[in-house]
């Protein structure tokens, strides 16, 4: 098997990527010699997917984009190699935006990581900064029985077109795009600057286009721009939106700079007319390259179907539980998409290598989901037992995918400059607590989603969770106590995002008990199999405030010093240590 050096030396990098990496190497050399402006270096590294790390200026987080969520087995092996060799914690972290992050990479090793990932068709370009970020795609695109057609080729065309596009290099703020083909909103299109949803009109392909969604401290739901945009007009429409944002977005006040504020200021009717006029100009001034890029993409090539050993069932422990929660039946007869659940979104180098080998044997394709999991697609039904045993041997056969125990979380204060609390620690504590509760096995409880962010910025998407939390702090006497703000009732569907309602602010140590109480009340009071969302609509999220009131009290330090320590940082006195945020840059 080829090592990392062999893979990189044997690959020809895209000339643009190679030029960027060489420029970065020169900047690092000048920076270490005291000849480079640190702010100039910061701007350039962010444009190339390289964040700062809390308290460690010579270390970085590298965000690697998985184009529309896709990654090859060779890509998995390269991620394993760079995580093992250069990430201090030896982990690859799968994000909610179909990307992978490596944490605590020393500055001198950053160019090596960039060369390695670019050699297998991945990129860090525009993974950060005021740019068009990762263009995400429904992970079930191409295999879902719900979809009118596969949106993957259109998402890939948009990804290629906007990567390094001049209009996207210095926007007023970051810009996010998502593609969805299903009736179920897997891609969460209402929380994006542009949400693109497959549509048919008279047998012709097109899209419903939504604009102006976003989370953060002021969450807003996207609004319908056009009920039907023909496929040939999709990229010109997206370009027109980005050009308007580039010209008229707020460049003076960063907190008001997202597209959602421009749409709100103008109103959707005026914004719609502006987009139509801008699109007219875009098309009249198109270059030959534009016209070629805008053409509807060809149908994707049929996947290389696997021929694994036939073993439809397994008597290995846990097979039935895994099969109940981790399988998605494809529209292709006899095939399944299998979710590989990654607790906390993390996977080790050993896990990545094992998954690469398993994917080559059992699946036609690997994709990531915004649930921070990886999916194996086109797994034959007759091979599910063998696949399960291979995953079990690799430690990757965890059940409960996309259930209560599959908790979404951001990296939190372990690395992020803006985070207040360690969301990783809370996610671990919650999963341990809930997995021990018999009530968590109830089908109604299992369908509930939990999402955690370490601050109000919603990188963990807490606003759209059934049960969401974001980190905060409260002083008790002279000491700070880590808390989480609890929200209930968030959700999305096409054309609508409903944001969770704040119910209380709970000490970190008491959050698991709070969730247990919420689940217990729901299961006791639901009517006729009522879902948690329907139950909340009936009783109101605010009705939970009295139930949780006593949990918001903090005992004196002398009685319970553990309350003054964050989950995941036991033995350390908690204090808020905010640095200069870069997710907003």
H and E: helices and strands count for the chain: 18, 22
Sign of the CA dihedral running 489, 493, 496, 497: positive
User: Which 3 state secondary structure label does DSSP give 564?
Assistant: helix
* Six token digits for residue 426: 């809370």
State the pLDDT confidence band at 350, using cuts at 50, 70 and 90.
very high
What mean pLDDT do residues 512-517 have? 98
User: Which 3 state secondary structure label does DSSP give 250?
Assistant: coil
Share of the chain above pLDDT 70, in %: 97
Residue 347 phi/psi, 5° resolution? -145, 140
Domain annotation for the chain: domains and CATH numbers: 4-128 (3.90.480.20), 143-294 (3.30.413.10), 319-393 (3.30.70.3340), 408-564 (3.30.413.10)
* Six token digits for residue 568: 């995941």
Task: Give residue-wise pLDDT tens across range 15-44.
Answer: 999 999 999 999 999 999 999 999 999 999
R_g over Cα of the chain: 24
Task: Give residue-wise pLDDT tens across range 142-193.
Answer: 999 999 999 999 999 999 999 999 999 999 999 999 999 999 999 999 999 9
User: Which 3 state secondary structure label does DSSP give 569?
Assistant: coil
Regarding beta strands 175-180 and 194-201, do their DSSP bridges make them parallel or antiparallel, or are they unpaired? parallel
Share of the chain above pLDDT 90, in %: 93
User: Helix 259-266 and helix 268-284: axis angle, to 10°?
Assistant: 110
DSSP 130: S
pLDDT in the model for residue 577: 80
pLDDT in the model for residue 4: 66
Q: Does the pLDDT at position 217 exceed 90?
A: no
State the pLDDT confidence band at 388, using cuts at 50, 70 and 90.
very high
CA of 372: how far to CAs of 147, 211, 341, 418, 456, in Å?
22, 25, 8, 21, 20
How far is it, in rounded angstroms, from Cα 582 to Cα 577? 15
How far is it, in rounded angstroms, from Cα 365 to Cα 359? 7
State the pLDDT confidence band at 585, using cuts at 50, 70 and 90.
very low
Residue 16's Cα: distance from chain center in Å?
26
Please report the DSSP string for 418-466 in residue order. Answer: S-SS-HHHHHHHHHHHHHT-GGGGSHHHHT--EEEESSTT-TT-GGGSS
Reported pTM: 0.96
If you count them, how many residues does the chain have? 585
Burial 176-190 (b: 16+ CB within 10 A, else e): bbbbbbbeebbbbbb
Q: Does the pLDDT at position 584 exceed 60?
A: no
């Amino acid at each position: 098997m080829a090592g990392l050096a062999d893979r990189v030396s044997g690959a020809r990098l895209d000339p643009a990527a190679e030029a960027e990496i060489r420029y970065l190497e020169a900047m690092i050399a000048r920076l270490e010699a005291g000849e480079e402006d640190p702010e100039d270096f910061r701007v350039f590294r962010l444009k190339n997917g390289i964040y700062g790390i809390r308290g460690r200026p010579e270390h970085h987080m590298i965000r690697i984009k998985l184009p529309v969520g896709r990654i090859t087995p060779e890509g998995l092996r390269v991620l394993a190699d760079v995580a093992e060799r250069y990430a201090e914690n030896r982990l690859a972290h799968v994000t909610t935006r179909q990307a992978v992050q490596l944490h605590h990479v020393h500055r001198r090793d950053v160019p090596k990581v960039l060369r390695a990932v670019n050699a297998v068709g991945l990129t860090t370009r525009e993974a950060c900064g005021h740019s068009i970020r990762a263009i995400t795609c429904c992970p079930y695109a191409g295999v879902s029985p719900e979809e009118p057609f596969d949106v993957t080729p259109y998402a890939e065309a948009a990804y290629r077109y906007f990567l390094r596009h001049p209009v996207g290099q210095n926007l007023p703020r970051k810009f996010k795009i998502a593609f969805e083909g299903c009736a179920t909103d897997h891609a969460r299109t209402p929380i994006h600057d542009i949400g693109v949803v497959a549509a048919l009109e008279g047998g012709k392909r097109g899209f419903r286009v939504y604009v102006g969604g976003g989370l953060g401290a002021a969450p807003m739901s996207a609004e319908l721009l056009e009920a039907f945009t023909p496929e040939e007009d999709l990229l010109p429409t997206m370009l027109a939106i980005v050009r308007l944002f580039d010209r008229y977005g707020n460049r003076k006040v960063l907190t008001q700079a997202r597209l959602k504020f421009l749409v709100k200021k103008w109103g959707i009717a005026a914004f719609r007319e502006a987009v139509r006029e801008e699109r007219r100009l875009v098309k009249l001034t198109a270059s030959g390259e534009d016209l070629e890029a805008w053409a509807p993409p060809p149908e994707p090539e049929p996947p290389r179907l696997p021929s694994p050993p036939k073993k439809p069932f397994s008597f290995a422990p846990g097979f039935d539980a895994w099969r109940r929660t981790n399988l998605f039946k494809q529209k292709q007869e006899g095939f399944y998409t299998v979710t590989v659940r990654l607790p906390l979104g993390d996977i080790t180098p050993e896990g990545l290598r094992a998954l690469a080998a398993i994917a080559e044997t059992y699946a036609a394709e690997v994709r990531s989901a915004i649930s921070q999991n990886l999916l194996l697609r086109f797994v034959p039904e007759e091979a599910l037992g063998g696949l399960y045993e291979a995953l079990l041997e690799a430690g990757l056969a965890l059940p409960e995918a996309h259930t209560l125990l599959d908790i979404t979380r951001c990296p939190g204060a372990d690395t992020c400059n803006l985070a207040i609390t360690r969301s990783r620690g809370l996610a671990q504590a919650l999963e341990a607590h809930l997995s021990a509760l018999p009530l968590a096995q109830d089908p109604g409880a299992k369908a509930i989603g939990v999402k955690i962010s370490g601050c109000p910025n919603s990188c963990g998407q807490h606003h759209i969770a059934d049960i969401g939390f974001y980190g905060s702090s409260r002083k008790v006497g002279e000491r700070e106590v880590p808390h989480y703000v609890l929200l209930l009732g968030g959700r999305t569907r096409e054309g609508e995002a409903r944001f969770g309602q704040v119910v209380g602010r709970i000490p970190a140590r008491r959050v698991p008990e709070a969730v247990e109480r919420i689940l217990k009340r729901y299961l006791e009071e639901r009517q006729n199999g009522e879902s948690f969302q329907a139950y909340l609509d009936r009783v109101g999220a605010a009705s939970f405030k009295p139930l949780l009131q006593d949990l918001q009290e903090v005992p004196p330090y002398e009685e319970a010093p553990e309350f003054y320590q964050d989950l995941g940082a036991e033995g350390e006195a908690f204090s808020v240590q905010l640095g200069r945020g870069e997710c907003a840059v």
